[in-house]
Structure 1
Amino acid sequence: MSKKSNTSKRYSAEFKRDAIALVHSSGETVTEVARDIGVSPAGLRNWVNQDKTDRGLGPAGALTTAEREELVRLRRQVRELEQTVEVPGKATAFFANRKTK
């Protein structure tokens, strides 16, 4: 009996590109290609769909890979800026509270 790992595998960008190209050129279904190369069908399907979006062929409103990366970067930057603003506010409240006691 084989045990499945709960950890996800990471595949290189080159491996993903090759897998997507194989789906397009082989005439096989995504499930068949996934089985042949040893990846999950859902994962390969996601790669194919993201590739379509990156090429401008995806559904309206879908984010490209570059847009997703920028969104992650901007959200991280907002968190850092919020923390930077929060510290002086807490310090001001602390010292204002000390003076009134």
Structure 2
Amino acid sequence: MAETRRKFEQDFKEGAVRLVRETGKPIAQVARELGIHDGTLGNWVNADRRRRGESTDGLGEDERAELVRLRRENAELRMRCDVLKRSMALWVEEAMGR
């Protein structure tokens, strides 16, 4: 038999998130009190944090994008450094007459 999903009004979602944010109660406790699954409430809270720029990992959207850019740049610079090391080794071997 197919599972039916409950639909929640936006006001209900915002109120549930506000309860978690303002009371400091754990998500699981607030979810039990409201009769909803704690994973559902957790998703709502995480979405609200992202909208507010309060990411759960401590990084905002701009910071995450910069981190990705810096990691790519770092990888490219490592590759360039490796190429220079190898070319230097070949140059030294050639200069030593080996």
TM-score band w.r.t. shorter chain: 0.5 to 0.7
Computing the radius of gyration from Cα coordinates, the structure with the larger value is: 2
Shift of the alpha carbon at 1:61? 7.9
Root-mean-square deviation over aligned CA pairs: 1.9
Q: Percent identity?
A: 34
Is 1:16 the counterpart of 2:13 in the alignment?
yes
Letter in 2 for 1:24: R
Q: Secondary structure at the match of 2:42?
A: helix
Is 1:28 the counterpart of 2:25 in the alignment?
yes
> What is the aligned residue count?
58
Distance 1:61 1:7, change over 3 A: farther
Letter in 2 for 1:13: Q
User: Normalising by structure 2, what TM-score?
Assistant: 0.53
Q: Which residue of 1 aligns with 2:3?
A: 6
Unaligned runs of 5+ in 1: 63-101
